[in-house]
Structure 1
Amino acid sequence: MYAAQFLSGRVALVTGGAGGIGSAVSEALASYGCQVVAADLPTRLGAMDTGGGIEHVALDVTDARDVQQCIEGVVKRHGRLDILVNVAGIVSAGSAQALAEAEWDRVIDINLKGTFLCCQAVIPVMKQQQHGRIINFGSVLGKNGGNPRPWIDPKEQERAGNVAYGVSKAGVHIMTSYLARELAASGVTVNAVAPGPIASAMTTSFPQVLRDLIPVGRMGRAAEVASAVLFLASPESAFITGEVLDVNGGLWSD
């Protein structure tokens, strides 16, 4: 599976490339022959590994003009853009009662609007090519109503409540379905990966009592999420579109 020739020569853009999962996805695609452009905020670019032949670019996914210029730049430099992986996102914790309006807007702006802007910008490129793979990032929290159990321990809600994050990711899930239908006749598939708790800088404060609820008994690894992306990026997934692929250790299934 994932024979190198399947992805060799393809051009991939990975947003959120400086993060743990974004880095893992970029490295996995590059290892199978993709020309990878890893994009992130200018303030985060310094944290990105400069090895592996991965190109790094600055990108603010909430800025439509910046997104358009980034996509145009990739196509100008490499002649095409075959794979878009929308990893860029932020988390937000706390109860719905205490959530500030500005925090709600920030999360929706980055996670949902940012994903849409990147998808929108690659549509004409991929339609012209009559080929493309769009892989969005959802979350188990967009499906399960959140991990905290405030009826057992109200403090769990304050430590790990994620209403804005969950709503943003649920929006990504349904957007994936809509785009999959819109682009199917153009040779473009649109799918999403929905990770559960993944060991990363974003989950260092994830409560142990909630970790214990994961059936496989551990947090996921970024490389395991990257493997799901590799499958959805490959020709082997050509008959799969509009799917939200769970990678959550059994925490949620549907």
Structure 2
Amino acid sequence: MYSTELLSGRVALVTGGAGGIGRAVSEALAGCGAQVAAADISVADAPAAGGAAPAPIERVALDVTRRADVLRCVDDIIQRFGRLDILVNVAGVVSMGSAEHLAEQEWDRVMAINLKGTFLCCQAAMPHMRRQGFGRIVNLGSVIGKNGGNPRPWLDPREQERASNVAYGVSKAGVHIMTAFLAKELASSGVTVNAVAPGPVASAMTSNFPQSLRDLIPAGRMGSAEEVAAAVLFLAAPQSSFITGETLDVNGGIWCD
């Protein structure tokens, strides 16, 4: 268990803060003393201040696909708090089905949010973290960006229709390699850039995840948002300063590399 003072004095921005993983990450960071801005395109359901967390969580509106919106959000944080220490890019969308029936508009939507949005947020945070000489960027990837997808359509085509598709996988693979590029660019400035690649996580979005694929998880269950948040917290901690460019798998053994 981390100390409630671990991140005291640190300021964090979590995109996708209204979702299950974003909420868990925001609460984990706040629970360790960080001032957290939980950003989402809709802030109505984002985590708010309260509970036992030693630092508050503030709701922030943000469309990660719009560069001007991202710059405004980061600038507002800098103006208010004087710094930005931790950026966690959780904002993303899932996309289901086969490559054969994937619409061009759906491909563009997934890339704009999952890949472009992550890059725009990293790009906006970089100069501030360089100037501070300290920063932690943690991007959310996915096992789907590594394993070519969980479904086995040669056994059962229905698995593909109910699981993440090629657009989602390509967007997350892009996040993984982006993480490696930025890690090298920022290492000499005291800024680490890592990714967390979850496997199947129990949530509203995965309620239709095929039982046949659940049965392939060696751990015997789906993961939780809190387990993903614990990995993010580890990479965001000051003690993780010699870890950069890493993609940390949190997948119950469904994919090992």
Query: What TM-score bracket applies, with the shorter chain setting the length?
Result: over 0.9
1:70 aligns with 2:73: yes
Normalised to the residue count of structure 1, the TM-score between the two structures is 0.97
1:234 aligns with 2:237: yes
String of CA shifts for 1:29-70, please: whole Å, max 9, x gaps. Answer: 0010000000001xx311123233211110000000000000
Count residues with an aligned counterpart: 252
Aligned counterparts of 2:25 and 2:162: Cα–Cα separation in 1: 28
Deviation of 1:156 after TM superposition, in Å, equals 1.2
Aligned to 2:183: 180
1:50 aligns with 2:48: yes
Aligned to 1:12: 12
Deviation of 1:161 after TM superposition, in Å, equals 4.2
Equivalence map 1:147-186=2 (5 Å)? 147-186=150-189
Equivalence map 1:1-254=2 (5 Å)? 2-41=2-41, 44-52=42-50, 53-254=56-257
Higher helix fraction: Structure 1 or Structure 2? 1
String of CA shifts for 1:198-238, please: whole Å, max 9, x gaps. Answer: 01121111111111111000010100000001100001211
Where 2:147 maps in the other structure, the secondary structure is coil
Deviation of 1:158 after TM superposition, in Å, equals 1.6
String of CA shifts for 1:86-130, please: whole Å, max 9, x gaps. Answer: 000000000000000000000000000000000000010000000
RMSD of the TM alignment (CA)?
Answer: 0.9
Where 1:176 maps in the other structure, the secondary structure is helix
Moved over 4 A (4+): none
Where 1:46 maps in the other structure, the secondary structure is coil
Q: Which amino acid aligns with 2:40?
A: D
Unaligned runs of 5+ in 1: none
Q: Which amino acid aligns with 2:23?
A: S
Aligned counterparts of 1:222 and 1:137: Cα–Cα separation in 2: 12
Sequence identity percentage: 72
Contact 1:149 1:157 in 2 (8 A): yes
Aligned counterparts of 1:223 and 1:49: Cα–Cα separation in 2: 14
Aligned counterparts of 2:47 and 2:207: Cα–Cα separation in 1: 21
Aligned counterparts of 1:50 and 1:16: Cα–Cα separation in 2: 14
Where 1:7 maps in the other structure, the secondary structure is coil
